[in-house]
Amino acid sequence: MPIKTEPFAINFGPFHPSTHGVFRMRTTLDGEVIIDLEPVFGYLHRGIEKLAEGRTYTQNIPFTDRLDYLASMSNNLAYVLAVEKLAGVPVPERAEYLRVIMAELQRIASHLIAVGSLLNDCGAFMTPILYMIREREKILDLFEMVSGQRLTYNYMRIGGVSQDIPDEFLPALEKFVERMPSYIDEYDRLLAENEILLARLKGVGILSKGQAINISASGPVLRGSGVEWDIRKVDPYSVYDRFEFDIPTGTLGDSYDRYRVRIEEMRQSLRIIEQAMKQLPSGAVKTDVPWLMLPPRGEAYAHIESPKGELGFYIVSDNSAKPYRFHIRAPSLINLTALRDMSVGWKIADLIAIFGSIDICMGEVDR
Amino acid sequence: MTIALSGRKIAGKLQEQFPGSIVQSDESSLLVKSEHLLAIATFLKTTPGFDFDYLTSVTAVDYRDYFELVYHLISIEHNHSLVLKVRCHDRENPTVPSVVGVWRGADFQEREIYDLMGIKFEGHPNLKRIVLWEGFQGHPLRKEYKGIYK
Amino acid sequence: MEIDKRHRLHIYSDEELDKNEGEIIELLKAASQQPVPDQDEWLDEQLRRNILVTSVEILLNAARCASLWPVVCFPACCAFEFITTAASRFDISRFGMEIIRASPRQADLMITAGTLTWKNAPNVRRVYDQMAEPKWVIAMGACAISGGIFSGSYSVVPGYNRIIPVDVYVPGCPPRPEALLYGIEQLRRKISSLQFLA
């Protein structure tokens, strides 16, 4: 006689240590196997898009810091690029290079946390993330030198950056770039062939190439599925067309590929920083823009390759001092569309690994 | 470099296929009638030469007289982009066809527009509030919303 | 029944083993004719000279503030400053609080690291209610104190003190780890002066 079973609903989150913030998943299980999953958002919806309509263009830069708080520099960059596009503000060459250096350092810092917390969620409690935070602190020290803040930098300005780098910055950066590859090798030795990591990640949460494109995935999620799509290459902004770097891609589209892509991207970022340091010109770092900017009537969409994926700002101006509409194309939110497809059919323990491999930031998902 | 396709040129091609569907077209964007949106979206996605297989972002703007939905499309194969727009003049009960069937990436973004702007998407499989809670009064991103307190 | 001795593989014969066992018993018996002296006998003598008179309050307060266990409450940006405080460089375990509990029932401190929205407010309230008494709350960051730069938004609670009682406020957006550690110090001072048996 077959045993009668019935599906079982488990509410995952919002206060769960592995949800990277306040995120909730309503899962339906058959035994331990996930048969349905519905993500529930909004526990960190702060209404940034509405608040931004009430402030001037410059006043909105601090809001962008608090979107993806692990990649504040990248958010700053995307927003100022959109406003510069809208108002036609030129940017001095030195500022462009500084922006690239900051954005790439930020990518390394963000990927360190992504990899560390993924391993943390997989059960290697605290040890890997302690290693990753050790290096991240070095990057935060560099950021603190230029902006005076550890997390919310507010460094980019419309038409440049807020201030030039101090004299101690470049020697410290050189030292960092020199040492960082050995640290990345250290992670590789510890983790790449680690049997437990392979068992937890390899072949788990597969996202096919076609699916990844159809759900508009971006960043390491898209590249992990084998699509060679990096906005720094396909639509170069700032001065990215002057650097040589590769786009790491995965083959299978599983959690392990996404993890590998992040590790390789850190190496590529170091390559870019090295080239940018060599080419760094001297000169001004900021174009003078009016204190109260009045961009012409119109709209602009600017996008960058943030650590999480394609971060875009769509800004509509009505020729007043405040944006008429301020929309954020958040990569984390859209990458989450893939979560259900990836995790149905897997066990609930795999859900944590799959979720960690997408690498989301709740500040950006809910805004 | 992603090439932004001229809306005017595409409008010419679409005019043959779907007569009367184009409202307005300029160099940067293409404004179509909402009843033709689904057919045009499918056409743009499947026609060789266009292959707009990647929907970057969907958003809505409240222009007080009407709502404007903005679709940023990209073709990964050809590396070109297009901005597609749809207007919705009904303020009481604005409705636009959903493009989730064409690009699944629109799923959460359309739900967000429904939540914050109050535009209904016909044919969306799971249209309910996404970031605010059930029972929230009004739609915050509309211009007449004055729910901000100090 | 005859036991087939060819299959026995022991080095020693049964007789030898029995004899050895008997010897061990005899030896132990001979050595254990007196009771083992009490190791803590000296203590009674010493205690008479070293009595510490204190109140239950001070003893309990000292125990409580020496090992605060925080609960996971990481809604937003400040969470990362809290995590770095707990991690390699700033090392919160110096204060006996490296164990960050996922279950509120095992925690006695809530560090509210991030913006609170009305949608999340019932969950925070519930986590707070589930914590065992005595419990304390540190409001970390501008959002936790007043809503910060998001105060005035339609969905943001202007401060955690609308939902739960707050003991210590740590300003900053986000506060530096040193500031958080200073806030924890302030909380420990508060706990050590607590009077609950008056």
Percent of chain A with pLDDT over 70: 100
Dist CA C187 CA C195 (whole Å): 14
Q: What pLDDT score was predicted for residue C25? A: 92
How large is the average pLDDT for residues A250-264?
A: 88
CA distance B129 to chain C (A): 12
Kindly list the residues from chain B whose CB atom is less than 8 angstroms away from the CB atom of residue A50.
116, 140-141, 145, 148
Residue A237 has pLDDT above 60, yes or no: yes
**Residue bearing the bigger pLDDT, A171 or B146:** A171
Of all residues in chain B, the one with the smallest CA distance to C119 is B133
Residue C137 belongs to a domain: yes
Q: C28 pLDDT band (50/70/90 cuts)?
A: very high
Domain residue limits at C98: 68-192
What is the domain partition of chain B in residue ranges? Answer: 3-97
pLDDT tens-digit readout, B115-145: 888 898 888 888 888 888 888 888 888 888 8
Residue B65 pLDDT more than 80? Answer: yes
Q: Work out the average pLDDT over C44-67.
A: 81
Facing C150 at nearest CB: one of A46, A70, A137: A46
B62 contact residues in A (CB cutoff 8 A): 325
How far from the centroid of its chain's Cα atoms is residue A209's Cα? 21
A-chain residues within 8 Å CB-CB of C174?
A: 150-152
Query: Do C22 and C76 sit in the same domain of this protein?
Result: no
Q: Is B3 or C126 the better-scoring residue by pLDDT?
A: C126
Higher pLDDT, B12 or C66: C66
Confidence of residue B150 (pLDDT cuts 50, 70, 90): very low
**Is the same domain home to C101 and C180?**
yes
C38 domain-assigned: no
Task: Please give the full DSSP string across chain B, using - where no structure is assigned.
Answer: --EE--HHHHHHHHHHHSTT-EEEE-SSEEEE-GGGHHHHHHHHHHSTTT---EEEEEEEEE-SS-EEEEEEEEETTTTEEEEEEEEE--SSS-EEE--TTT-TTHHHHHHHHHHHH--EEET-TT-S-SSSPTT--S-TTSTT------
Residue A180 has pLDDT above 70, yes or no: yes
- Same domain (yes/no): C27, C92: no
- In percent, the amount of chain C with pLDDT more than 90 equals 8
CB C168 within 8 A of CB C139: yes
Helix, strand and coil in chain A, % to nearest 5: 50, 15, 35
Q: What pLDDT was estimated at residue C198?
A: 61
Whether pLDDT at C127 is above 60: yes
- Cis-peptide into A296, omega within 30 deg: no
What is the reported pLDDT for A273? 92
- ipTM, two decimals, is 0.90
Determine contact: C87 vs chain A, CB below 8 A. yes
pLDDT of residue C5: 56
Taking the domains of chain A in order of start, what are their residue ranges?
Answer: 8-366
Topology adopted by domain A8-366: Cytochrome-c3 Hydrogenase; chain B (1.10.645)
Architecture (CATH level 2) of domain B3-97? 2-Layer Sandwich (3.30)
Asked if the model's pLDDT at residue A148 lies above 80, the reply is yes
Q: What is the pLDDT of residues A211-225, one digit of tens each?
A: 889 888 988 999 988
* Confidence tier at C4 by pLDDT (50, 70, 90): low
pLDDT at B103 over 60: yes
- Say how many domains are in chain C: 2
Q: Is residue C14 part of a domain?
A: yes
User: What does pLDDT average to over chain A?
Assistant: 88
Q: Span A14-35, mean pLDDT?
A: 82
pLDDT at position A315: 92
Under the banding of pLDDT at 50, 70 and 90, the label for residue C8 is low
Tell me: the pLDDT tens digits for B83-100? Answer: 888 988 888 888 899 988
Are residues C162 and C94 part of one domain?
yes
pLDDT at A272: 92
User: Which chain B residues contact residue C151 at CB under 8 A?
Assistant: 150
For chain A, say whether B55 makes contact (Cβ under 8 Å).
yes
- The conformation of residue A347, written as its DSSP 8-state character, comes to B
Mean pLDDT, chain B, rounded, equals 85
Average the pLDDT over each of A343-352, C86-95, C124-133 and give the range with the smallest value.
C86-95
Measured between CA atoms, the residue of chain A closest to residue C154 is: A47
| H helix count then E strand count, chain A | 15, 8
Q: Assess whether pLDDT exceeds 80 at residue C72.
A: no
Q: Do both C73 and C160 map to the same domain?
A: yes
Q: What is the percentage of chain B residues whose pLDDT exceeds 90? A: 4
Q: What is the mean pLDDT of residues B32-45?
A: 87
How far is B32 from B11, CA to CA, in rounded Å? Answer: 9
pLDDT for the residue numbered A97: 92
